[in-house]
Amino acid sequence: MPLQLVFATNNRHKLEEVAAKINDEIQLLTLEDIGCKEDIEETGSTFKENASIKSHFVYDKYHLNCFGDDSGLIVDALNGEPGVYSARYAGEHGNHAANIAKVLDKLKGVENRRARFKTIISLIWNGNEHFFDGTVEGTIRHQITGNGGFGYDPIFQPDGYDITFAEMTMEAKNKISHRARAMEKLISFLNSHQ
């Protein structure tokens, strides 16, 4: 029987993305799969704290190996904002259009548009916590370009490309994204600890 690992998410797309990279000896489960109906509140002040809150919540309550992640956009000229508040930067959680508008408004007339996406993963494996991170550097465009992706993808142009994440295919984005880079480290760990 394969080892079970809970991904502290209900996002099926994220789960499929991860499952495609893990070998058959690990069975990935969502919060829904283990009967967890609670909304795990991200009350930390860093990505690391929020990722840890998610994984500890599941491990402490269900005693299952698990991992949680937290990600966000960090803009140099905004002193690291929106950071851990990326999903609710404009107030309402998940209002991507309002969040983008707020970033673009704050950057009006600003020359330095350097930014990065960052992901931190907290894995609790056999009672021990391990962290994995991934970052992708880039710049913030002056206007929205592209219809793909989600969040800040239409204004984020990764270094080495002349298009935004929202103009890339999901496959191309997943090769260079912050989440993909963190997941590769996690998967490498799992594959060497079975």
Q: What residues act catalytically? A: 70
Cα–Cα distance measured from residue 136 to residue 57, given in angstroms and rounded to the nearest whole number? 28
DSSP conformational letter for 188 = H
Cα–Cα distance measured from residue 168 to residue 192, given in angstroms and rounded to the nearest whole number? 32
Closest by CA position to 126, among listed 51, 65, 38:
65
Structure tokens at 9: 């998410």
Computed over its alpha carbons, how large is the radius of gyration of the chain? Answer: 17
Closest by CA position to 157, among listed 175, 138, 143:
138
Measured CA distances, 144 to 138, 148, 167 (Å)? 15, 11, 10
Cα–Cα distance measured from residue 101 to residue 103, given in angstroms and rounded to the nearest whole number? 6
- State the CB neighbour count (10 A cutoff) for residue 80: 14
